[in-house]
A and B are shown apart, each in its own frame.
Chain A
Amino acid sequence: MTADQIIFLLCTLLILGSALMVVTTRKLIHAALWLVSALFGVAILYAVLQAGFLAVVQVVVYIGAIAILFIFAVMLTRKEMLDKGAQTRSNWWIPALLGLLILTGLVSLIIGQPAFGRTASEIPSGVDTLRNLGIALVSPDSFVLPFEVASVLLLAALVGAVYIASGNKE
């Protein structure tokens, strides 16, 4: 076991443990906070994968915006639910079975492919992935169109969310 592998396994433990708590815990606030911990684990994984920019963006976007939005939504709507009663359906074993089926299917698929056993080669020195990413996002012969479409989508979502949630239409 190398240091890399130990870090990876600890991260896996954090992510999967937190994810299980997200889908099983009864208090929704706790579920949202467990989501934060799972997403933080994913951010560490990005750092292990040498995608530092994505790691930081993961923290800014997911923890700084999305998780906080979730916590707000839970607080605003908890009057009726008050975390009482069953939080999961009575037939929860069907989704559990489905999840297990998909998991075993995917894992057998992944293990069956010898190509997936490869390890990563070093990023060649002189390749600045952050600069490459920035150029790729705005250069016309790579990804400028998806990037602009994504920004239009965000703007539309902003307008839509404000319109729906403002709620004084009548």
Chain B
Amino acid sequence: MSIPLSWYLILAAALFSIGLFGVLSRKNAIAILLGVELMLNAVNINLVAFWRYLDPAKMAGQVFAIIVFAVAAAEVAVGLALIISVYRRRKTVVADEIDLMKW
């Protein structure tokens, strides 16, 4: 293992920034969720890299990565269900147009 830890951290930082750009710049609500997925993965890379480089005998990093998986799955399931439900009522998935609390 001749890769410095900082390489992983820089990769994760870059992935996080790209995801953030996607979240802020996209119009389509589904595309925004895609960006969120990228950001969650960036966090996961960090967690696993720290687990491997600091103390592989303690499993905290991997356990948290697994919990991030669960949260990501829950987030996508509910998020996409909301988007599809909104699409049924308003015929749009553009995040800007969904700006009323009640229709």
Contacts and interface: CB of A to CB of B under 8 A. Distances in A.
Interface of A: 2, 4-5, 8, 12, 15-16, 19-20, 22-23, 28, 31-32, 35, 38-39, 42, 45-46, 48-51, 53-54, 57-58, 61-62, 65-66, 69-70, 72-74, 76-77, 80-81, 86-89, 92, 94-96, 98-100, 102-103, 106-107, 110-111, 113, 116-124, 127, 129, 132-133, 136-137, 142-143, 146-147, 150-151, 153-154, 156-158, 160-162, 164-165, 167
Nearest to A11: B11
Contacts of A46: 48
B contact patch SS: helix
A157 B74 contact: yes
A12 B8 CA distance: 9
25 contacts: A39-B41, A45-B11, A48-B3, A51-B52, A53-B62, A57-B69, A73-B84, A77-B30, A77-B83, A80-B87, A80-B93, A87-B31, A92-B25, A94-B24, A96-B21, A99-B20, A99-B24, A102-B17, A110-B9, A118-B4, A119-B5, A120-B53, A142-B59, A146-B67, A165-B80
Contacts of B19: 19, 23
Given A8-B7, A65-B73, A129-B59, A164 B18 contact: no
Contacts of B56: 50, 120, 123, 127, 129
